[in-house]
Structure 1
Amino acid sequence: MSRPTSAPLGLAIALALSSPAFAQDTPQATNLDTVIVTGTRAVDRTVLESTAPVDVLSAEDIRKAGVVNGELGSALQALLPSFNFPRQSNSGGADHVRAAQLRGLSPDQVLVLINGKRRHNSALVNTDSKIGKGTTPVDFNAIPVSAIKRIEVLRDGAGALYGSDAVAGVINVILDDAPEGGAIEASFGAHHTDLKPIDRTLTDGQTSYFSAKVGTALSDEGGFLRVGLELKNREATNRAGFDQIPPWEAQTPDNLALAGKRNYSLGDGASKDLNAWFNAEIPFGATSKAYAFGTYNQRDTEGANYFRYPDGEANWTALYPNGYRPISEGENLDVQLVAGARGQWAEWNYDASLDHGRNEFTYRLRDSLNASLGPTSPTRFKTGDFSFAQTVANLDVGRIFVRENDSHSLGFGIEGRHERYETRAGDPASYAAGPYTDRPTGSQAGGGLTPQDEADLSRDVISAYTSLSSTFGEKFSTDIAARYEHYQDFGGELTGKIGARYAFAPAFALRGSISNNFHAPSLSQIGYESTSTGYTAGGQLVQGRLLSVNNPIARALGATDLKPEKSINYSLGFTSQIGSHFDLSLDLFQIDIDDRIALSESITGDALTDFVQQQFGVSGLESAHYFVNAADTRTRGAEFVGNWRQSLGDGELLLTGTWSYAKTELKNVLATPAQLLALDPDYVLFGVEESNTLTDAAPRTRAQFAASWANDDWSLSSRLSRHGSAKRVFDFGDGYVPTQTYQAEWQLDAEVEYRITPQWSVAVGGQNLTDNYPDKSNEDIYYFGNLPYDVLSPIGSNGAYWYGRVRFTF
């Protein structure tokens, strides 16, 4: 059901505090009447009439909730009850491309659409993160916030409707299509916070955002062109504590002199974005329209890495007399272009389109070195190039049959998809083994991809599908879909879905669905390999490799071909709308997934090193891991959304409450293969660390209450969010398994906006106004004072953020 947004503050604070969404320029009650296009063939279904839960977020909701950097992902976390978008740090690629979760599942188990067309994933594999580890997620922050007309979020399995990946649900971003007018907006904000671990007040993370958009009619028959531009700049934040010097580092005077200093970084890296977009349509013939739309994102980002001490094997004091902290740099180019035509052939509707999306990512390091090259080592490196391209051709036809009080929307379609994934080696110096054989090889904080690591994989996917949405009188409606999808590398799979809704009273209805879904391993999970030099969770410096399952070393360690994930989704819900003031929905769900794909635990130790040296002639390999079908999982949960609308004074009041719960349990966990046990009976292929990634690392619950009030001049809102507890588990070996549960946290956001004239408005507001932080990590986990906060809690570790905004519409 719709997640009508909440607006700005003032009166709202007095009414209660808050939850996601901020005020709109027009009353939000209209959200309930919005005809949805996601999850059904029917052309007249509204949010409350859907057979599965659908949230509808307006442009105003998204624009105001995404004030921090204009980030779409941050806006969705604020607005959606079951969307998680953590801010990760010291997490490799996740510092540059943040992964999102829906219903607690993996980031690659949610399908993203733009105007109903499949969005491509990023090219960078998250291998050092916690949330989203081992996935190449869709980069939500590459989608311009200013381009959005609304977003529809289907919280239900939809593989039969949209194909692979739609296990947790579908997020359909619908672009602005206004044929006239426009807007210019600018905002500036910063974090201002009391950082208790160092007893200081900090102001950092200064963020500036500018957007402009305009539309024009292209013909008298209704064509339009809408274009926009966004510029974003964010300075870094740092919440690191005082260094206590890890005991395994050399206890020399130069190293000990760094005690009590802030040698590490914990927080958001600096970033710069350029976004551009367009959306166009022009009629032709009697009943047809040609359309095209596209998005462009160029983003430069920085990420944090562990500090290297002066007197250590990873340093040369001739280069860094006081030690160094490598900084990763990401150059991210993301493009999508879609063109097509839709219209009518007699009584049939058609939509034919060609969709191409591409992500290119170049990974670099500065303030680093390759210790094996000696004191003449370079300090800047390119460590690799990554690219993923997806081209989709689609033909969809349908028609409506009406008979007395019944209506039926029937559709058929065919789709072809081509995917290609490539990686290219880094600079030779980034992976070279130099003459200093007692020193680690490769650039510190991520050795470069070697020529043997390079991947070039492609595949074709063909599918045919049909669906039927029916309404029988005023009380009963159904959605039925079936899809056959054939992967070049995994064969064919038939998926289906049936959903139904029954209004047993004028104000009350039951809805439910059952579906099976299919998720093929990504090309990156099949073929990605990398060589690295870095620190384990326990702080030890190791040289390791992520091996593809086809690598002979991985095969010798027990790797097998990956299998597709297959799931069954069950959903049962209750909806109610009492008059024009109150509506609610409560949905229960269960998602059973077989052969869940994950990264294995890191296999380390002398047994591994000696085995690889003897069998393959590869020396110095201290750590290895690869992708596995780790376990079957069952996720059970519930989601509640309630809204109250009321005229108050000369304005409109909206109160919104949401609550979500999702718990994942493991079944049939993959046993450690005999090949590993033969090397060392203590080896575990899939153990407590990676099990924690799938089950407890993300909060199981989120709850929010939002209050907003708006009239012609003022827009006031606030939201109070409760982020549930999260659990972190490490395995440092020898039975040492540090564990900490981070308790639930509350976050208060608020905004007040004043319309000076019909065109000009100004706003001030803040997020996390109480300057709340997650629990500090315990002594087992806080890395000797350097990393006082974990990255798991959705509240993040940046503290309070304050901003101002000015907007001009025309």
Structure 2
Amino acid sequence: MFSHHRKTALTGAITLALFVQGAHAQDAKPANASTLDQIVVTGTHAKDRTVLDSPVPIDVLTPEDLRSAGAVNGELGSALATLLPSFNFPRQSNSGGSDHVRAAQLRGMSPDQVLVLVNGKRFHTSALVNSDTKIGRGTTPVDFNAIPISAIKRIEVLRDGAGAQYGSDAIAGVVNIILDDAPEGGEVTSSYGAYHTNFRPTGRTITDGQSSYASAKFGTKLGASGFFRAGLESNQHDATNRAGPDQIPSWENQSPANLALQGKRNYAAGDPKNENYSGWLNAELPLGDTVTAYAFGIYTQRHTIGDNYFRYPDSDANVPAIYPSGYRPESIGTNRDINLTTGARGHFGEWDIDSSLTWGGNSFAYNLRDSVNVSLGDESPTQFRIGKYSGTQGTANIDLSRPFEWGSTLYTLATGAEYRRETFRTYAGDPASYAVGPIVGAPTGAQAGGGLTPQDTANLSRHVGAAYVDLSADLTEKFFADAAARYEHYNDFGGAWTGKLSGRYAFTPDYALRGAISNNIRAPSLSQVGFESTSTGYGANGELVQGRVLSVNNPIARGLGATDLQPEKSRNISLGFTARVGEHFDASLDIFRIDVDHRVTLSETIATDGLESYILAHFGVPGVQSVAFFTNAVDTRTRGAELVANYRNALYGGNFTLTGTYSYNRTSIRNVRDTPTQLAALGADAVLFGLEERNTLTDASPRQRGALTARWDSTHWGLLTRLTRQGSTTRVFDFGDGFVPTQTYAARWQLDAEVEWRATERLSLALGGQNITDQYPTRSIPDIAYAGNFPYDVISPIGVNGAYWYGRVRYSF
């Protein structure tokens, strides 16, 4: 429910908005410069490229776009998912670490196949390994929600392979976040919202997920042309729960104590509770006439509480003396991100030079409460320190560029070098979290995620060096071309060349073809090389399983056929058409294909009947009922198309914009490595890459997504409505013995709307809603709904929370 002070504030905002509804809008403000005419700095080193002039597709998002996205809890990832049809940001639940760090996809590719830059400098990834999720399983992606949304001046999203220009990971594209650099003035923003929904599985109207957001930023001049800009941001989000009435799973003990819980909501399914605090700065200081020093940085700390499966009173996973009525463990994550850059840019003769040092890091402390180590019996604690993950990335860059004339053609030459050092380290949990207690035959380790054991811990580092060259020019009045090459060397994987050719041919000043061809690489992350974990939890079939994720260097993994990982290698091809019809209409259509060889994934969770005895007999390790390890088992091909169209015109004293976007991508499996003979010998169900992982790559994410957004702005009013079609998704479970529950969740239409009243030039108030028609995914079939506890699947992009309503106030100075 709403707290009293929050309810009063929101009621006041609604009353004020209704009071002024009768006011007439004054003359419209001049239209803002179209983002089509914005000079972009991503995708080419030429200094005169705009969105439609670029040889590759680029989206530009402004602060106004991000505000209008109505992001729940100020999440940058949620805003990008609303605004970009190629961007998927699924909400997870009961998914271990993925409840705390959400992974994003671009063009349907893996979360770690997109490169994120801040002011053009590489941003670090998360240290947490997503081993218990569906989308992004086995990845350590960039945490988009670690970047404060109030810090952003604009975002440039390059939808094309760009490894030759920016380095590894840029297989699907590049997201370049440009920080606010205003030399004076500031802004204070506050918003509050909540989900209010008719939840049909329980027949109740639910209000939960209350979210509050506040940010403040200011700027001041430094010297004649420098600046200092800084801000603070806070957002808090209460948990949501969309679990259904429990019908008690058939595989659980049908005892009176368990059956007494039938019909109750014993589980929780929805968003985790979230508290997030951020600070940021961006500064430049001229040092004479030719050199400017700069620095920028971001710090974020987040505390989250996620849910896990309920443990019944009469269960092998319970100690009745501690939990006579059963229990539901909660995971607790403390996430810290820091990213700092300092450097200088200047002009030396004909050259523009930019040299910088960047250091970024993430630490994630993982804990459990309301849990138990059953093997310790009545002496078990109920809170555990599960482990800690840490990753750092230090980068030194030097970039040079200059124009030069050859014949009658003016070229832009860019070159540079980069050195990067990466580290990954994990720390063991407390001894009780992984202990094998005196209760014989009982599950060992903390329930819902046993602690990292001393033998699980990893401490890895590596060095990466790279050099590149990029040459671009308008070869004729109609044809622009760009060629780039890069050599990158990893001390653990060796070296590789990448290259890219792109071009744009303008038939007329308003119509053009564009295209690109490139090859790109992504070396396995250090976490994919060295991460190991031991856990006790529920498998896909609902039965309690003690399992391990093994590095490929572990003797057990080697004994099951694991081999050294290889870098992923992609070949990207794209072709596009752009058009600008008069002053009011523009459109772009791009088609693409991405072939990835040696794609890095986690294997299937291998849990055959003979596995435990095999590991005990050959390696002397008891109690291991399931294993998974990283592998290059699959080659994929992703085909797709993306359409963006805009119409702009004056209307009723204001400026009207209508934008249509559509994205389609389809991933198919080109080749699968044979299951190793050692693994196949354990039984027909022991496969390296099977139905569930195929489903993860091909059908678990939506293939299609489209949106139609209408926006009208005048001096005092802003109106927005957005209709989005979230495409269908498919879930596949493989429970063994031919039992493969499968369900396709139908496409859904989502309607968002917002009205903003600009009371003065400085003060504005807004009211809005997302999914205001309160749509939910298709109800899950009984074999997937887990005895009614999970009536909706989280893989549907429309989510499982229903309608969200919010109010916002903003004051600039």
Counterpart AA for 1:729: V
- Correspondent of 1:591 among 584, 589, 594: 594
| Pairing 1:454–2:457 present | yes
Query: Which residue in the other structure is 1:171 paired with?
Result: 175
Which residue of the partner structure matches residue 46 of structure 1?
Answer: 50
Partner of residue 722, structure 2: 719
Which whole-Å deviations, capped at 9, do the CAs of 1:617-647 have from their partners, x for residues lacking one?
Answer: 1111100110010211000000000000000
Letter in 1 for 2:708: F
- Match of 2:422, SS state, is strand
Q: Which residue of structure 1 aligns with residue 298 of structure 2?
A: 295
Task: Kindly provide the CA deviation profile for residues 350-381 of structure 1, in whole angstroms up to 9, marking residues without a partner as x.
Answer: 00000000000000000001000001210000
Match of 1:359 in 2: 362
Give 2:198's aligned residue.
194
Aligned equivalent of 2:338:
335
Q: Deviations over 1:216-259 (max 9, x none)?
A: 0011x211000000011100000000000011111111100000
Tell me the SS of whatever aligns to 1:391: strand
Q: 1:115 to 1:66 in 2, by over 3 A?
A: farther
1:79 aligns with 83
The residue that corresponds to 1:100 in the other structure is: 104
Task: State the partner residue of 1:130.
Answer: 134
Q: Matches of residues 388-407 of structure 1 in structure 2 within 5 Å?
A: 388-402=391-405, 406-407=409-410
- Alpha-carbon distance in 1 for matches of 2:106, 2:659: 20
Task: Say whether the 8 Å CA contact 2:685–2:737 is kept in structure 1.
Answer: no
1:456-492 deviations in Å (ceiling 9; x for gaps): 0000000010001211343110111000000010000
Deviation at 1:317, TM superposition (A): 1.3
Contact 1:28 1:654 in 2 (8 A): no
The one of 482, 495, 498 equivalent to 1:495 is: 498
- Whole-Å Cα distance in 2 between the matches of residues 144 and 681 of structure 1? 49
1:304 corresponds to which letter in structure 2?
Answer: D
1:785 aligned partner, one-letter code: G
Query: Which amino acid is the alignment partner of residue 36 of structure 1?
Result: V
| 1:664-703 matched pairs, under 5 angstroms | 664-703=667-706
- Do the aligned partners of residues 25 and 104 (structure 1) sit closer, same or farther apart at CA in structure 2, a change above 3 Å counting? farther
Shift of 1:438: 1.9
1:412 to 405, 415, 419: 415
Tell me the SS of whatever aligns to 2:672.
coil
Deviations 1:291-326 (A, max 9, x none): 000001000001111000001111111111110000
Structure 1 stretch displaced more, 258-267 or 468-477: 468-477
Distance 2:523 2:461 in 1: 13
Structure-2 separation of matches of 1:157 and 1:105: 12
In structure 2, C-alpha distance between the alignment counterparts of 1:579 and 1:587, rounded to whole Å: 21
Cα deviation per residue 1:414-473 (whole Å; 9 max; x = unaligned)?
A: 100000000000010000000002210000000000000000000000001000121134
Distance 1:597 1:675 in 2: 21
1:424 counterpart residue number: 427
Once the two structures are superposed, residues 54-96 of structure 1 have per-residue CA deviations (whole angstroms, 9 ceiling, x without a partner) of: 0000011113314311000000001112000011101111100
User: 2:22 aligns to what?
Assistant: none
Deviation for aligned residue 1:682: 3.8
Distance 1:471 1:636 in 2: 30
Q: Which residue number in structure 1 is paired with residue 220 of structure 2?
A: 216
From the superposition, tell whether residues 474 and 649 of structure 1 become closer, same or farther in structure 2 (CA, over 3 Å).
farther
1:37 maps to which residue? 41
* 1:436 and 2:429 aligned: no
CA distance, structure 1, for counterparts of residue 594 and residue 383 of structure 2: 46
1:526 partnered with 2:529 = yes
* SS at 1:781 equivalent: coil
Is the 1:549–1:627 Cα contact (8 Å) retained in structure 2?
yes
Q: Is the 2:433–2:446 contact (alpha carbons within 8 Å) kept by the matching residues of 1? A: yes
What amino acid is the match of 1:261?
K
Quote the Cα distance in structure 1 between the aligned partners of 2:154 and 2:331: 35
Aligned match for 1:787, one of 779, 786, 790: 790
Alpha-carbon offset, residue 28 of structure 1: 4.7
Q: 1:164 to 1:274 in 2, by over 3 A?
A: same
User: Residue type matched to 1:604 in 2?
Assistant: A
Residue correspondences, number: 786
Q: In structure 2, what is the Cα distance between the partners aligned to 1:376 and 1:26?
A: 71
CA distance in 2, matches of 1:423, 1:548: 13
* Local SS of the residue matching 2:604: coil
Note the alpha carbon deviations across 1:388-410, whole angstroms, 9 max, x for none. 10000000111012468732110
The correspondence for 1:280, drawn from 280, 283, 298, is 283
- Structure 1 gap segments, 5+ residues each: 1-23
Q: Which residue of 1 aligns with 2:653?
A: 650
Query: Matched residues in 2 for 1:672 and 1:26: separation?
Result: 64
Q: Deviations over 1:636-670 (max 9, x none)?
A: 00000000000012110000000000000001111
User: Higher mean Cα deviation, 598-607 or 636-645?
Assistant: 598-607
> Does the 8 Å contact 1:588/1:637 carry over to 2?
yes
Could you tell me whether the CA contact under 8 Å between 1:405 and 1:473 is conserved in 2? no
How far, CA to CA, are the matches of 1:789 and 1:610 in structure 2?
Answer: 37
1-side partners of 2:573 and 2:785: how far apart? 40
Which range moves more in the overlay, 200-209 or 598-607?
A: 598-607
Contact 1:701 1:723 in 2 (8 A): yes
TM-score by length of 1: 0.96
**What is the CA RMSD across the aligned residues, in angstroms?**
1.1
Does residue 702 of structure 2 align to residue 705 of structure 1? Answer: no
Identical residues among aligned pairs (%): 63
Q: Cα distance, 1:676 vs. partner?
A: 1.0
User: Aligned pair in 2 of structure 1 residues 745, 587: CA closer, same or farther (>3 Å)?
Assistant: same
Matches within 5 A, 1:566-581: 566-581=569-584
Instruction: Please say if 1:371 is aligned against 2:370.
Output: no
Q: Does 1:148 align with 2:186?
A: no
Whether contact under 8 Å (2:70, 2:769) holds in the other structure is no
Task: For 1:194-273, list aligned pairs within 5 A.
Answer: 194-219=198-223, 221-273=224-276
Alignment of 1:458-537 (within 5 A): 458-537=461-540
Once residues 749 and 378 of structure 1 are traced to their aligned partners in structure 2, the CA distance between those partners, rounded to angstroms, is 46
The one-letter code of the counterpart of 1:301 is T
Q: Taking CA–CA contacts closer than 8 Å with sequence separation of 6 or more, which of the two structures ends up with the larger relative contact order? A: 1
- Structure 1 position 539, deviation (Å): 0.2
1:635 pairs, out of 635, 638, 646, with 638
- Asked if the contact 1:405/1:472 (under 8 Å) is kept, the reply is no
Mapped partners of 1:126, 1:293: distance in 2: 29
Q: What is the SS of the residue equivalent to 1:32?
A: helix
